[in-house]
Amino acid sequence: MKIKILLVDDHLLVMHGIQQLLENEVDLEVVNTICYPALLETEIKKHNPDVIVMDIRMKNDNGIEWTRKIVKTYPTCKVVILSGYDYDEYIQAAYEAGAYAFVNKENSSFELANAIRQTYLGIKSFPTDRLHNYNSPLTTTELKILQFISEDKTNAEISNLLHISRRTVEHHISSILRKLDADSRVGAVVKAIKLGLIG
């Protein structure tokens, strides 16, 4: 099943260039391209896209405002913000508006395609070191446990290292999997690394 993408950009050449690059990816499908965000809601209802890739600045429109609106009104549609400007405040604004990723137009098509795939899976792709108030969903203990898991430590070893019972370790691991929406220890580690929670 292909990931359905709606492209929104008021620069036709840029948008068609992006469309061609994405359509080379076997798992991605661009359902439509629009220059005017005013048409967005009609297109969402018509195509029900999985991911909307939207320019941050358009002539009379603001991609951040539209992201807030989409997140609120169409929670099944996830937004990737595209920008020709790599400003910290843009990254911050996109994150706070509820976008799943921020991609600079200078980045390669591989990075954009990857951000779209991550977004589809519900994983946020932001340079976390450039977010002022990026809050980890995990507690300090959970982060420590996750770090140990990434080092291939067993529950028994983690319990000795943290001086807590094995049952407590298991409770923490269940909490980590739930918070990161992962179905295995390995999945949780991979997700945490992508989110920049652990090194």
Instruction: Report the CATH number that the domain containing residue 159 is assigned in CATH.
Output: 1.10.10.10
Asked whether residue 76 falls in the same domain as residue 159, the answer is: no
Asked whether residue 55 falls in the same domain as residue 81, the answer is: yes
Asked whether residue 123 falls in the same domain as residue 26, the answer is: yes
What does the pLDDT read at residue 109? Answer: 84
The answer to the question of residue 30 being in a domain is yes
Asked whether residue 126 falls in the same domain as residue 144, the answer is: no
Asked whether residue 157 falls in the same domain as residue 108, the answer is: no
Below-50 pLDDT ranges, the chain: none
The token pair at 6 is 């709606």
What does the pLDDT read at residue 89? Answer: 84
Number of domains in the chain: 2
The answer to the question of residue 135 being in a domain is no
Judged on CB neighbours under 10 Å (0-12, 13-18, 19+), 68 is middle
Asked whether residue 111 falls in the same domain as residue 86, the answer is: yes
Helix (H) or strand (E) holding 189: helix 185-194
Asked whether residue 69 falls in the same domain as residue 146, the answer is: no
Asked whether residue 95 falls in the same domain as residue 144, the answer is: no
Asked whether residue 54 falls in the same domain as residue 25, the answer is: yes
Give the domain CATH number at 80: 3.40.50.2300
Asked whether residue 149 falls in the same domain as residue 186, the answer is: yes
Asked whether residue 21 falls in the same domain as residue 118, the answer is: yes
Asked whether residue 95 falls in the same domain as residue 184, the answer is: no
Residues in contact with 188: Cβ distance below 8 Å, sequence separation at least 6, in sequence order: 146, 149, 173, 176, 177, 180, 182
The answer to the question of residue 57 being in a domain is yes
Q: How far apart are CA 67 and CA 98, in angstroms?
A: 7
What does the pLDDT read at residue 135? Answer: 62
What does the pLDDT read at residue 140? Answer: 81
What does the pLDDT read at residue 139? Answer: 82
What pTM was estimated for this model as a whole?
0.67
What does the pLDDT read at residue 199? Answer: 63
Domain around 111: 3-130
